[in-house]
Amino acid sequence: MMITTGTKPYTYLLGRSLFDLVNQFLNTLIALGIALLFGLSFSPDAKFGPAVLGALLGMLAMGGLGLCSAGVSNYLRAWAGWEPVNIFVSLLGPILAGLYFPPEILPRWLQGIGYALPPTWVYRILRKSILQGVGWGRLAADLTGLCVVTLVYVMIGRKVLDTSIEVGKRKGHMLPW
């Protein structure tokens, strides 16, 4: 449906994703406001600049992963998010990225997978900058790691989506976007 209108896939995906991004941003602000009402306090040394940059880069990196997911979903003709990229990121991502516990306690090979995921870097940056008051200089390695992961996922995601669209056009099967 989308292809017959001449809408570019990236325009469609961006438009569809913007609502979710704005919604999540507003939910975060509301949760933060409620937490502040109940006495949440930050370290006096908290650095919010690196935290905001880390969060924005993380969103961009997850967008790249989303492109991978859309491409795989289109190629496999998967519905409702039941495709390998989405399942992996949703189920194993939080564990490997250090949401519940530090990734350093995992076996080395799992740590490697965890460091390939954008949330690992985002969590490190947020914890260090907000909870420990670590500044730009000491976060340079983490920000660089996140930049590399972001660039890789955006490039791979674009290639996967473009390839799946071309294959879908040739074979005559596309998801009804």
Dihedral of CA atoms 58, 59, 63, 69 in degrees, nearest 10, equals: 70
Share of the chain above pLDDT 70, in %: 92
Return the domain boundaries, the chain: 1-41, 45-171
Retrieve residue 150's tokens.
């972001």
Dihedral of CA atoms 154, 137, 104, 110 in degrees, nearest 10, equals: 20
The arithmetic mean of pLDDT across residues 153-177, rounded, is 82
The string of DSSP letters for 32-87 reads: HHHHHHTT----TT--HHHHHHHHHHHHHHHHHHHHHHHHHHHHHT--TT-SHHHH
Residue type, 123: Y
Q: What is the pLDDT of residues 28-86, one digit of tens each?
A: 889 988 988 999 888 788 999 999 999 999 999 998 998 888 888 878 776 655 778 87
pTM value is 0.82
